[in-house]
Amino acid sequence: MKTKLEYIWLDGYKPTQSLRAKTRVEENFSGKLEDCPVWSFDGSSTEQATGGSSDLLLKPVAICPDPTRKNTYAVMTEVLNADGTPHESNGRAHIDDDDEDFWFGFEQEYFLMDPQTNKPLGFPADGYPAPQGPYYCGVGAQNAFGREIVEEHFDVCLEAGLNIEGINAEVAAGQWEFQIFAKGAHSAGDQIWLGRYFLEKIAEKYGVVVNWHPKPLGKELDWNGSGMHANFSNGLMRTCGDKNVFTAICEEFGKNIKSHIDVYGAYNDQRLTGKHETAAITDFSYGVSDRGASIRIPVGTIENGWKGRLEDRRPASNGDPYKIAAVIIKTTSKAVKGL
């Protein structure tokens, strides 16, 4: 029996990497990750190599059924140089979380756009729809736009075995969100990228564009942007029962603003303005149940006796979850060591 394997990777485009994919056929494939061979590709066509030395390698790191195609597995890969070392575009290789002590919940926002008008679904060709208000978790044809794509994506993710935890319409017309939770930063990143891949494939079928830009409508307009809020915890946070631990972590994040913002997504300055439930990119703050802060301390963490998670609200919708998780782990670990 012949099986299709869709190899998925991130290219070298800057400032935001894009998804790439190609398919190979395997005979009598077991369905197991360890039986997915390393495969080469032309890096000169993806801004990852020069034409004179263009062979790069795709190392499989995660696998799941691909419900969008018959007899197919989706294989998430990371890019290696020809000698087997991580390519410079490979953010996954820099995650220091081998024991999966860190748990992540990413809230992935995005816009669905009409390629003819280059505006979100629900926007007229000229002008704008009614102001924000009725669209968040809205119901009805006058409030929800593109639901058929969103629902199909939800079902595909569930069928593929991704740990998708929910979906909802977001604050702006044509804006949506899905949430992924995973134990371990590698798995969280793999699943977000696979979730993005499936969404792109489904929207492609409908002739709709998925826009990951954090502020596609411009910062001068009164419309929300798109983020990818990062909820995170480690074993200590989940068990300590100590407010001082959470305070120390938040304070350490405030000392490392640049290292975080540098990997939280391009054009994020257009979104982090201090308006529309954001803190300004030049500032840092944290607060209980405060969606206008850089880091929100969920009220549930306090009600649970200071055991639980934090939410970094700064990552943009186009950020690389691998790089975001890596810097969160680094800063949190540094704070904990200082206690």
- The per-residue pLDDT string of the chain (339 residues; one tens digit each, 9 = 90 and over) reads 999 999 999 999 999 999 999 999 999 999 999 999 999 999 999 999 987 889 999 999 999 999 999 999 999 999 999 999 999 999 999 998 888 999 999 999 999 999 999 999 999 988 899 999 999 999 999 999 999 999 999 999 999 999 999 999 999 999 999 999 999 999 999 999 999 999 999 999 999 999 999 999 987 778 999 999 999 999 999 999 999 999 999 999 999 999 999 999 999 999 999 998 899 999 999 999 998 999 999 999 999 999 999 999 999 999 999 999 999 999 999 999 978
Residues 70 and 138 in one domain: no
Coil vs helix vs strand at 222: coil
Q: In total, how many domains does the chain have?
A: 2
Q: Are residues 78 and 132 in the same domain?
A: no
Domain assignment present for 97: no
Q: Based on the domain organization, do 204 and 325 belong to the same domain? A: yes
Contacts of 260 (CB under 8 A, 6+ apart): 253, 312, 314, 327, 328, 331
d(CA 4, CA 36): 11
Looking up residue 291, the CATH number of its domain turns out to be 3.30.590.10
Q: Are residues 306 and 186 in the same domain?
A: yes
Is residue 158 in a domain? yes
Residue 196 shares a structural domain with residue 58? no
Give a yes or no: residue 95 inside a domain.
Answer: no
| Biggest CA-to-CA distance, the chain | 60
Residues 171, 176, 181, 184, CA torsion sign: negative
Residues 73 and 139 in one domain: no
Distance of CA 105 to the CA centre of its chain: 10
Residues 108, 70 share a domain = no
Contact 313, 279 (CB under 8 A): yes
User: Would 297 be classed as within a structural domain?
Assistant: yes
Burial call 134-155: b when 16+ CB within 10 Å, e when fewer: bbeebeeeebbbbbebbebbbe
Residues 292, 204, single domain; the answer is yes
Residue 10, domain CATH: 3.10.20.70
* Distance from C-alpha of 282 to C-alpha of 287, rounded to nearest angstrom: 17
What distance in Å separates the CA atoms of residue 308 and residue 236, rounded to the nearest whole number? Answer: 9
Q: Are residues 156 and 251 in the same domain?
A: yes
- What CA–CA distances, in Å, run from 338 to 12, 238, 252, 256? 36, 18, 10, 15
- Whether residue 96 lies inside any domain: the answer is no
Q: Are residues 298 and 185 in the same domain?
A: yes
8 Å CB contact between 167 and 136: no
User: What is the reported pLDDT for 200?
Assistant: 98
From 68, 90, 112, give the residue that closes a domain.
90
* Domain end (from 63, 90, 117): 90
- Distance (Å, rounded) from C-alpha 179 to C-alpha 168? 9
Q: Which of 43, 62, 90 is the last residue of a domain?
A: 90
Q: Residue 173: its pLDDT value, please?
A: 96
Same domain as 82, residue 19: yes
Q: Would the pTM count as exceeding 0.85?
A: yes
Range(s) of the domain holding residue 19:
2-90
- Check whether residue 60 and residue 126 sit in a common domain: no
Q: Is the residue at 15 inside a domain?
A: yes
pLDDT of residue 314: 98
In sequence order, the 6+-apart residues with CB closer than 8 A to the CB of 208 are 112, 113, 114, 115, 121, 146, 149
